[in-house]
Amino acid sequence: MHDLVITGGTIVTAADTYRGDIGITDGKIAALGLGLEGRDTIDATDRLVLPGGIEAHCHIAQESATGGMTSDDYRSGSISAAFGGNSCFVPFAAQHRGMGVTETLDLYDSRATGASVIDWGYHLIVADPTEKVLTEELPLAFQRGVTSFKVFMTYDLMKIDDRQFLDILTVAREHGALTMVHAENSGMIAWMTKRLVDAGHVQPRYHAVSHPALAESEAVNRAISLAKLADAALLIVHVSTPEGAKLVSDARMEGAKIFGETCAQYLFLTRDDLDRPGMEGAKFMCSPPLRDTATQDALWRHLQAGTFSVFSSDHAPYRYDETGKLANGPEARFNQIANGMPGIGLRLPLLFSEGVNKGRITLQQFAALSASNAARLYGLTEKGSIAIGMDADIALWDPNETRTVTAEDQHDNMDYTPFEGWSVTGWPTTVLTRGKRIVENGELVAKPGQGRYVARARIDLTGYPGHRAPELDPATNFGANIAPGAAK
């Protein structure tokens, strides 16, 4: 007799699709079969039963280096994520210059604990890699289960230089952490921005011009080069160009431990959206910026071919009012407008509708991109699939329901969505975290604070092209070469 049984659904994992019941006990998946019985039942007839989504790139309760705060906190952010089919998320804990890492993590703990309705972890943004941070605090962060570090190659107050990047990669390699990078060339953006502003080209559409594709491809190449030198694993987040994707793909084939991520907006929107009248374009500003339809095609191909292990929202919620996009007034120049757009609740419905329902990806790929890949890559060892012993993080989907997207339906703290008016087919109806209902039939049934912090494991690179078991690794004892990647 299980605590809860989900009956009559079609179970989907990264490997299989099959009819079956799921028995849940103590928050774990305990049985898969037919005719299971439990004290409580969820009827999944006509539903797909999927691993609960893991949103691995989102900005929640995060202030920028200059003090502005995202409009979503852990309460509203986690609720919107749950309505979008997610059982878990991994926002950023952002170290700013002058802050310690432990201090940073404690601060974010205070923001998340008691607020989140789903489970969570943190990626640590490292903006100030002092000697103390490198030798003492990053290992401590790793010990408390923060096993991924993010760095920026652009943004004046966040960016690190190439040598600092190598130092962080080195620490990450030693501990088994994954480094993530926002890869755009800072100098190119600054130079372009100055020229545009000097010429009076200040409307939102020039945001895209100021962040040329070359700025991404250059930085991606540099980041990969640094990771090769350090022989360290590296994830390029929000890849937005074919050139960037190809660099990731080529590096993998050549045996570098490079991973890629892309985001919903790059598949579904273009820079034409920045051209809307007045300041409307500000709603579509993010970095890297939206590109064009040829780029969309290329990114789909790479998503299909496995170049991107992770597919995210990069939810960065700034309202279209004076607290957010319009903080510098309705005449603000593009470089005075907060970057980012919301989407934590739409990542999966959009991928399902445009991906699965239009035949671009299989249900297996959807499960992998929803949850399984992120779970493996980020060390969420008890999440991300439907198998015995795993956390009962589960999402029921109605693959046929069609809804029109509205901002109000997002359950976040935003006043707009860039996907307003889109017709989307395929929606999550019920979402569980550790066997507890969070959303049921479209209603929130969880209480804030119901989520738990998840300490993540070291990343496991087994089977990845660039990885070798210690006994096979010529770089293990690299002697005088000092840089593992320089061993050859």
The interface with a second copy within residues 448-487 (CB under 8 A) comprises: 460, 462-465, 467-472, 480-483, 485-486
Residues 114-153 that bind a second copy (CB under 8 A): none
Closest contact distance (angstroms) between CB of 263 and a second copy is 19
DSSP string, 42-111: EE-TT-EEEEPEEE-SB--S-B-TTS-B-S--HHHHHHHHHHTTEEEE--EEE--TT--HHHHHHHHHHH
- Confirm or reject binding of residue 33 to a second copy (CB under 8 A): yes
Interface stretch with a second copy, choices 135-143, 264-272, 387-395, 409-417 (CB under 8 A): 387-395
- Confirm or reject binding of residue 154 to a second copy (CB under 8 A): no
Q: What is the 3-state secondary structure (H, E, C) of 29-53?
A: EEEEECCCCECCEEECCCCEEEECE
Contact map string, positions 405 to 444, toward a second copy, x by CB under 8 A: ----------------------------------------
Closest contact distance (angstroms) between CB of 332 and a second copy is 18
Closest contact distance (angstroms) between CB of 66 and a second copy is 21
Contact map string, positions 77 to 116, toward a second copy, x by CB under 8 A: ----------------------------------------
Q: Which residues contact 408 (CB under 8 A, 6 or more apart)?
A: none
Residues 352-381 that bind a second copy (CB under 8 A): 358-362, 364-365, 367-368, 372
Closest contact distance (angstroms) between CB of 30 and a second copy is 7
Q: Is 454 helix (H, G, I), strand (E, B) or coil?
A: coil
User: How many beta carbons lie within 10 A of that of residue 479, not counting itself?
Assistant: 6
Q: d(Cα 204, Cα 333) in Å, to the nearest integer?
A: 7
Choice between 59 and 228, CB closer to a second copy: 228
Q: d(Cα 301, Cα 45) in Å, to the nearest integer?
A: 33
Interface stretch with a second copy, choices 52-60, 93-101, 260-268, 296-304 (CB under 8 A): 296-304
* Among residues 57, 207, 283, 302, the one that binds a second copy under rule CB under 8 A: 302
Q: Is 365 helix (H, G, I), strand (E, B) or coil?
A: helix
Q: Which of 366, 278, 298 is nearest to 13 (CA)?
A: 366
Residues 253-272 that bind a second copy (CB under 8 A): 253-255
User: How many beta carbons lie within 10 A of that of residue 470, not counting itself?
Assistant: 7
The number of residues that bind a second copy (CB under 8 A) is 91
- Confirm or reject binding of residue 201 to a second copy (CB under 8 A): yes
Contact map string, positions 318 to 357, toward a second copy, x by CB under 8 A: ----------------------------------------
Q: Which residue has the tokens 């095609």?
A: 297
Closest contact distance (angstroms) between CB of 9 and a second copy is 11
How many helices (DSSP H) and strands (DSSP E) are in the chain? 14, 19
Closest contact distance (angstroms) between CB of 348 and a second copy is 16
DSSP 210: H
User: How many beta carbons lie within 10 A of that of residue 229, not counting itself?
Assistant: 17
Choice between 67 and 200, CB closer to a second copy: 200
Interface stretch with a second copy, choices 83-91, 115-123, 124-132, 216-224 (CB under 8 A): 216-224
* Among residues 3, 8, 31, 279, the one that binds a second copy under rule CB under 8 A: 31
- CB neighbour class for 45 (10 Å; exposed up to 12, middle 13-18, buried from 19): exposed
* Among residues 67, 98, 329, 389, the one that binds a second copy under rule CB under 8 A: 389
Question: How far does the chain reach from its first CA to its final CA, in angstroms?
Answer: 59
Yes or no: say if 113 and 453 are a contact pair by the CB < 8 Å rule.
yes
* Among residues 165, 268, 334, 427, the one that binds a second copy under rule CB under 8 A: 165
The most distant pair of C-alpha atoms in the chain lies apart, rounded to whole Å, by 72
Closest contact distance (angstroms) between CB of 57 and a second copy is 22
